[in-house]
Amino acid sequence: MFRDASEKGFDSSILEYYDMDDLDMPTVNRYRNRFSVINLNHAWHNLTDEEFLIQLGAMDKDRKTKKVWLTVAGLLMFGKSVSIRSYFPYFDLDYLKMVDVDEDLRYNERFTIDGRWESNLFNFFTVVINKLSEDIPIPFKLNGITRIDDTPVHRAIREAFVNAIVHGDYSVQGTLRIKKFKDRFEFYNPGCLKIPVADIYKGGTSKCRNPFIQKMFRMIGFGENIGSGFFKILKAWKEQQWAVPILEERFVTNEVVLKLNMISLVPEVYMGKLKEIYGNSLDLLNADEIKILVTAITEDEVTNARMQCVTDLHPCLLYTSPSPRDGLL
């Protein structure tokens, strides 16, 4: 609670005695190369590494001692594995590709902390984002004769990934975990949300747990900080006529989960099945009630919180008194 109460963000905290020696400089160099490409003629290009990191918020000066130390954001984003674990013993990263798996094969591919790479947030993102973008089941577009692979869906997936990173609470036990299935993506981050789920679906509201890390991603072209990021995800999925993304807090495991299902939510796809179940009684239902039933079929459950996100109904209207149609719902 004390960490989240700061408007400045927990990741701005100075880590005394953590300095340049705790950074993986190849990671810093890769970030600076990306920064140079995205920000041509930027005033920071000629700065030393330390000066650049100070401007970025990865390092800061202790006003009392005048010494420069890493910030939480700098350590998590660019740090050496051993240095990150020394301050964040629960820090854990995991990517699983789970396409056509069975009881004998739990996953097709895994990228996790195994001592073979410097396991900081920037390295994890740059490796995994390419894996997520492969084989997305949407047609490419042409601009003249040039193929356009960067579609709204690709951008939505990047946004979801960055959101999971910048909203994670790395001081608590939990894993930043990304799962790729044949028909969906799942993003898990440790910690709870700082604003209600319903407000996030409405858009226009943003309260980031790690604003410095968010800034670092934004400076190289990834992520939003004006409350529009999640709206872009919703818009991209709606354009594909896929099921509304599911965002939920799991308080028992202290984590947030975002599920992006690439399953059609066009009512006609399911009307035949609903007709088999309810017959002519289906004609008594309005559009919102049909949407609730379709959600039940595709997600195997219906909750008030989920329906607040799928429909425009007020929460109280989702708790109605008995009516002749209750047998259907």
At 206-232, the pLDDT tens digits run 788 999 999 999 999 998 765 678 889
Mark out the alpha helices in the chain (DSSP H runs): 2-5, 25-38, 49-56, 72-78, 81-87, 121-133, 152-166, 197-202, 211-218, 229-239, 267-278, 287-299, 304-310
At 99-109, the pLDDT tens digits run 877 766 788 89
pTM (2 decimals)? Answer: 0.81
In the sheet where 255-261 sits, what is the strand order? Answer: 109-112, 93-98, 176-181, 184-190, 255-261, 246-250
Helix (H, G, I), strand (E, B) or coil at 185: strand
Query: Distance between CA 112 and CA 93 in Å, rounded?
Result: 6
First to last CA, the chain: 39
What does the pLDDT read at residue 156? Answer: 93
At 259-303, the pLDDT tens digits run 999 987 666 666 777 778 888 787 778 777 877 887 777 667 777
Query: Distance between CA 267 and CA 276 in Å, rounded?
Result: 14
Whether 188 contacts 168, CB under 8 Å? no
